[in-house]
């Protein structure tokens, strides 16, 4: 661990006193959610000295549905996380419910991804990932809240300022900082990286219920026919019931209402929906654990650029949740790995234009992976999902066709082989390839 006393730090904003001490690293990662812990793990694996800073102390809650698709399982496998250990609940696929229809779609058997999903409460999941990063060599500082980026005269990030309860504010220095601080995006905002105000904001709410009847289900259940409370209009989103395997289920709903329709009262929509479920499932007030909690979903690359002046945005801080299905854990982990690769490469190059080029490659690579797919998803969200939810795509015709259902499921969860191996791959990969690639913005 490199720890020095600093005489070059700027005075702390609140006290006016210079911060007492400085810790240094090659890379600072702010936030130990899936994005930050994955980035820290991959950096540590590459032999980089990495400091992982987290404002909470583990284990801690995070409002989430706790559902992991095969893309997320793939990232866990790449990190060597022991997913055979007790506590991981496997899923075989999805069950979609719409009106009188109820269909099961197994996760596809692809060459590139596993054919199963998982669920695990974020209370455990984030703790496991953070500990995994530490075991690989990352230095975790939890209970430390980052308050601002530190910059030099040219405006380049040189580290972060942070506070720990009961201690003097401190400055932590590194030539590269990864912002994995979630939807609040404090670091990005401090550098003037606002979210795209033209894009609608999705919100989601969840609650745990004791439900032995549903807790061991093999399928992640999704309801596509929820309505605005007290109205006939379909809610632009879906509800979920995810088995936790420990006697509980994670139940919630997410919505992306078009501006024209105003916001949706998620709590009321949840109550109205759960009243429709069979009594035996136990999704009633007396079986609830804790309150309904909700949070925003930053979707479809809604913040740009993903790299500027020494700062890389990863996961929710870069608006990386999929606009197709609201999934963000796999995306946060994959982006964390890509950010780590680019940062490790940059550190191997001399400071200056060559290092900058390597760092600028991060948004280029993210755009190459998801730019077209997200552009198409943002258009689908604007034109279809935010107005009528999934009803237009989950119509009677699609629900009655196993082929179309499998194709839709793979489109929504971005599960194809490349190069294509079957007809569905061919259709989906071709459609996405036809979308013009978005420009990578620089600042």
Ligand X SMILES: Cc1cc2nc3c(=O)[nH]c(=O)nc-3n(C[C@H](O)[C@H](O)[C@H](O)COP(=O)(O)OP(=O)(O)OC[C@H]3O[C@@H](n4cnc5c(N)ncnc54)[C@H](O)[C@@H]3O)c2cc1C
306 binds ligand X (CB under 6 A): no
Q: How far is CA 180 from CA 64, 169, 256, 293, in A?
A: 16, 21, 23, 21
Q: Is the bond into 419 cis (omega within 30 degrees of 0)?
A: yes
Closest approach of Cβ 411 to ligand X, in Å?
A: 17
Among 207-215, 271-279, 326-334, 337-345, the segment contacting ligand X (CB under 6 A): 326-334
User: Under 8 Å CB-to-CB from 41, ≥6 apart: which residues?
Assistant: 79, 129, 132, 133, 136, 138, 336, 340
In whole angstroms, what is the distance from residue 431 CA to residue 429 CA? 6
- Closest to ligand X by CB, 166 vs 419, is 166
Of the candidate residues 6, 28, 34, 342, the single one contacting ligand X (CB under 6 A): 34
* Span interacting with ligand X, options 62-70, 171-179, 305-313, 433-441, rule CB under 6 A: 62-70
Q: Is 269 in the site for ligand X (CB under 6 A)?
A: no
In the complex, the smallest distance separating the C-beta of residue 358 from ligand X, rounded to whole angstroms, is 22
> What separation in angstroms does the CA of 266 have from each of 64, 187, 242, 252?
14, 29, 18, 9
Can residue 225 be called a binding residue for ligand X (CB under 6 A)?
no
Q: Which of 181, 189, 204, 374 is nearest to 296 (CA)?
A: 204
224 binds ligand X (CB under 6 A): no
Q: Supply 164's token pair.
A: 């720990």
Report if residue 33 touches ligand X, rule: CB under 6 A: yes
Site for ligand X in 385-414 (CB under 6 A): none
Q: How far is the CB of 322 from ligand X (least distance, A)?
A: 8
State the CB neighbour count (10 A cutoff) for residue 148.
Answer: 18
Nearest to ligand X of 66, 217 (CB atom): 66
C-alpha span between 97 and 296 (Å, rounded): 24
List the one residue from 27, 256, 321, 405 that touches ligand X (CB under 6 A).
Answer: 321
Q: Where are the alpha helices (DSSP H) in 139-276?
A: 186-190, 266-274
**Chosen residue from 18, 20, 56, 261 binding ligand X by CB under 6 A:** 56
Q: Can residue 363 be called a binding residue for ligand X (CB under 6 A)?
A: no
User: Looking at 27, 28, 30, 344, which residue binds ligand X (CB under 6 A)?
Assistant: 30
Q: Which is nearer to ligand X, 303 or 360 (CB)?
A: 303
Q: Applying CB under 6 A, does 67 fall inside the site for ligand X?
A: yes
Kindly indicate which of the ranges 43-51, 132-140, 328-336, 427-435 contains the residues binding ligand X, using the contact rule CB under 6 A: 328-336
Q: State the nearest-atom distance from the C-beta of 300 to ligand X, in Å.
A: 12
Check binding of 217 to ligand X (CB under 6 A).
Answer: no
Which residue stretch of 166-174, 202-210, 388-396, 430-438 sits at the interface with ligand X (rule: CB under 6 A)? Answer: 202-210
Residue 242: strand, helix, or coil: strand
- Give the interface segment with ligand X, choosing from 21-29, 267-275, 323-331, 398-406 (CB under 6 A): 323-331
Torsion angle, CA of 423/427/430/432, rounded to 10 degrees? -130
Among 150, 421, 70, 422, which Cα is nearest to 310's? 150
By CB under 6 A, is residue 186 in contact with ligand X? Answer: yes
Nearer to ligand X, 321 or 428 (CB): 321
Q: How far apart are CA 285 and CA 255, in angstroms?
A: 22
Return the residues of window 35-54 that contact ligand X according to CB under 6 A: 35-36, 53-54
Look at residue 158 and give its three-state secondary structure. Answer: strand
C-alpha to C-alpha distance for 125 and 250, rounded to whole angstroms? 14
Name the minimum Å distance from CB 36 to ligand X: 6
Strands (E), 286-428: 288-297, 307-308, 311-313
Per CB under 6 A, does 429 bind ligand X? Answer: no
Q: Does 316 bind ligand X (CB under 6 A)?
A: yes
Rounded Cα distance, 289 and 70, in Å: 28
Assess 131 for contact with ligand X (CB under 6 A): no
Determine the size of the site formed for ligand X (CB under 6 A).
Answer: 38
What is the C-alpha separation between 146 and 299, in angstroms, rounded? Answer: 24
> Shortest gap between Cβ of 144 and ligand X (angstroms)?
6
Task: Give every CB contact of residue 229 below 8 A, 6+ residues apart in sequence.
Answer: 264, 265, 268, 269, 271, 272
Enumerate residues 144-183 that contact ligand X by CB under 6 A. Answer: 145-146, 180-182
Q: What share of the chain is helix, strand, coil (3-state, %, to 5)?
A: 35, 25, 40
Told to check if 319 binds ligand X by CB under 6 A, we report no
The CA-based diameter of the chain, rounded to the nearest angstrom, is 70
The DSSP bridge partners found for residue 234 are 227
User: Contact between 32 and ligand X (CB under 6 A)?
Assistant: yes
Of the candidate residues 23, 24, 26, 66, the single one contacting ligand X (CB under 6 A): 66
What residue is closest to ligand X based on CB?
328
Q: What is the dihedral of CA 191, 196, 202, 207, to 10 degrees?
A: 0
Q: What is the contact surface with ligand X in residues (CB under 6 A)?
A: 30-36, 53-56, 62-67, 145-146, 180-182, 184, 186, 204-206, 252, 295, 297, 315-316, 321, 327-330, 332
């Amino acid at each position: 661990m490199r720890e020095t006393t600093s005489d070059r730090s700027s005075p702390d904003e609140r006290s006016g006193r210079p911060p007492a001490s400085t810790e240094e690293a090659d890379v600072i990662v702010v936030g130990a959610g899936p994005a930050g812990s994955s980035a820290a793990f991959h950096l540590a694996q590459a032999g980089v000295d990495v400091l992982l800073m987290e404002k909470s102390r583990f284990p801690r809650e995070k409002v989430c549905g706790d559902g992991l698709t095969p893309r997320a399982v793939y990232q866990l496998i790449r990190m060597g996380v022991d997913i055979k250990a007790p506590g991981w609940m496997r899923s075989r696929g999805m069950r979609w419910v719409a009106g009188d229809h109820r269909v099961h779609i197994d996760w596809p058997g692809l060459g590139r991804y596993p054919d199963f999903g998982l669920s695990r409460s974020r209370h455990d999941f984030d703790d496991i990932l953070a500990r995994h990063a530490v075991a690989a060599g990352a230095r975790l500082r939890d209970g430390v809240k980052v308050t601002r980026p530190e910059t030099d005269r040219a405006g380049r990030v040189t580290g972060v300022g942070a506070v720990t309860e009961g201690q003097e504010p401190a400055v932590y220095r590194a030539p590269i900082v990864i912002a994995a601080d979630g939807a609040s995006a404090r670091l990005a905002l401090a550098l003037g990286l606002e979210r795209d105000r033209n894009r609608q904001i999705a919100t989601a709410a969840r609650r745990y219920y004791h439900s032995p009847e549903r807790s061991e289900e093999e399928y992640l259940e999704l309801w596509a026919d929820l309505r605005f409370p007290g109205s006939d209009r379909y809610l632009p989103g879906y509800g979920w019931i995810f088995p936790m395997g420990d006697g509980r289920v994670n139940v919630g709903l997410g919505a992306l209402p078009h501006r024209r329709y105003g916001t949706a009262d998620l709590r009321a929509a949840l109550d109205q929906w759960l009243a429709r479920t069979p009594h035996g499932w136990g999704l009633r007030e007396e079986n609830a654990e804790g309150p309904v909690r909700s949070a925003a979903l930053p979707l479809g690359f809604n913040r740009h650029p993903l790299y500027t002046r020494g700062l890389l945005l990863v996961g929710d801080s870069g608006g990386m949740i999929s606009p197709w299905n609201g999934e963000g854990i796999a995306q946060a982990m994959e982006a964390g790995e890509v950010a780590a690769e680019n940062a490790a490469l940059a550190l191997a190059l001399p400071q200056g234009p060559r290092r900058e080029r390597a760092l600028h490659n991060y948004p280029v690579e993210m755009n190459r992976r998801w730019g077209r797919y997200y552009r198409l998803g943002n258009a689908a969200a604007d034109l279809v999902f935010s107005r009528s939810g999934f009803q237009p795509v989950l119509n009677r015709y699609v629900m009655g066709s196993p082929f179309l259902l499998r194709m839709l499921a793979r489109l929504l969860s971005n599960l194809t082989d490349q190069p294509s191996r079957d007809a569905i791959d061919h259709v989906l990969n071709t459609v996405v390839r036809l979308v013009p690639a978005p420009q990578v913005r620089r600042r």
